[in-house]
């Protein structure tokens, strides 16, 4: 039984990192006129009202996007991300937060296609409502892991993929790697983004080693920890692993991540920006 609802967590520090990286990648991918296929394996509802009961129950956005709302950075990537989130709010107040589907929709052009998978019945209905109106958008109530593999190689010969399961099923850690390897075998030139939570560091260490041993090339890892690793307090950090990233991604994240740690993290917080596997 699927129970995870992202509405409780919208706008938290994990979303800040995930969507900052996503916006960078899609901004780069859509510089070319050639069509692009964007695939989101675990889409969620796609758009969130922060005054709603779910968001107010946890108020995780107060530790994430709210701390950045009035912030001006010396780095354009962070300013662009903040401006992007503000574009979804009709007033100067922080009232709404876009999920990955709405952020992707912002970048996708007429010649592109967006594929959005979601299994949770309620979130699927909300996703369909939030993403309606564009012929290039496809919403599917199917397993996103299988759906991704079935769409590759894309007719456009260009693909940008976000693999973002909730990891409420512990097998997801292994399924992410096996699915990614299947996808890579079918289409090695795609850009693949994997979001992960740090709840048990050993699971992430195993994922990293599996990727290093996989034979895939050009893998980068970006992680934001709001506090030190622990076995007691749940998620302390989250990360994005990017295969075939834009050529300046690491340079940008090397600049932005220390700033995010200083704003969003406790004194024990830290960041990682690493080239896991060379080009």
97-135 pLDDT, tens digit each: 999 999 999 999 999 999 999 999 999 999 999 999 788
Looking up tokens 């399961």, which residue turns up?
A: 165
Which residues have CB under 8 Å from 248's CB, separation 6+? Answer: 28
Report the pLDDT averaged over residues 138-155: 98
Q: Mark 199-236 as b/e (b = at least 16 C-beta within 10 Å).
A: beeebbeebbebbeeeebeebbbbbbbbeeeeeeeebb
pTM for this model (two decimals): 0.96
- 172 classed as catalytic: no
> pLDDT by residue (tens digit) across 218-250?
999 999 999 999 887 789 999 999 999 999 999
Class of residue 125 by CB neighbours under 10 A (exposed 0-12, middle 13-18, buried 19+): middle
Q: What angle do CA 277, 21, 258 make, to 5 degrees?
A: 85
Q: Is the pLDDT of residue 1 over 60?
A: no
One of 37, 112, 123, 164 is an active-site residue; which one? 164
Q: Is the pLDDT of residue 271 over 90?
A: yes
For domain 6-277, give the CATH superfamily: Vaccinia Virus protein VP39 (3.40.50.150)
* Contact yes or no for 40/114 (Cβ under 8 A): yes
Give the C-alpha separation, 183 to 58, whole Å: 35
């Amino acid at each position: 039984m699927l129970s995870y609802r992202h509405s409780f967590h919208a706008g938290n520090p994990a979303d800040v990192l995930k969507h900052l990286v996503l916006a960078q990648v899609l901004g780069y991918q859509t510089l070319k006129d050639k069509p692009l296929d964007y695939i989101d394996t675990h889409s969620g509802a796609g758009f969130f009202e922060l005054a709603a009961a779910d968001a107010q129950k946890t108020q995780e956005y107060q530790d994430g996007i709210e701390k950045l709302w009035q912030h001006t950075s010396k780095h354009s990537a962070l300013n662009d991300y903040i401006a992007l989130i503000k574009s979804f709010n009709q007033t100067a107040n922080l009232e709404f937060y876009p999920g990955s589907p709405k952020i992707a929709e912002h970048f996708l052009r007429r010649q592109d296609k967006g594929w959005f998978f979601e299994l949770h019945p309620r979130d699927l209905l909300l996703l369909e409502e939030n993403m309606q109106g564009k012929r290039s958008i496809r919403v599917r109530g199917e397993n996103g892991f299988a759906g991704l593999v079935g769409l590759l190689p894309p007719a456009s010969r260009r693909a940008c993929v976000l693999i973002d399961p909730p990891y409420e099923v512990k097998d997801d850690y292994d399924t992410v790697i096996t699915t990614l390897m299947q996808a890579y075998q079918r289409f090695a030139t795609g850009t693949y983004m994997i979001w992960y939570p740090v709840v048990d560091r050993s699971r992430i260490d195993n994922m990293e080693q599996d990727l290093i041993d996989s034979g895939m090339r050009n893998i980068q890892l970006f992680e934001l920890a709001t506090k030190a690793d622990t076995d007691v307090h749940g998620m302390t950090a989250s990360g994005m692993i990017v295969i075939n990233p834009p050529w300046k991604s690491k340079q940008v994240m090397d600049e932005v991540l220390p700033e995010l740690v200083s704003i969003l993290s406790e004194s024990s917080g830290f960041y990682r920006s690493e080239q896991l596997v060379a080009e």
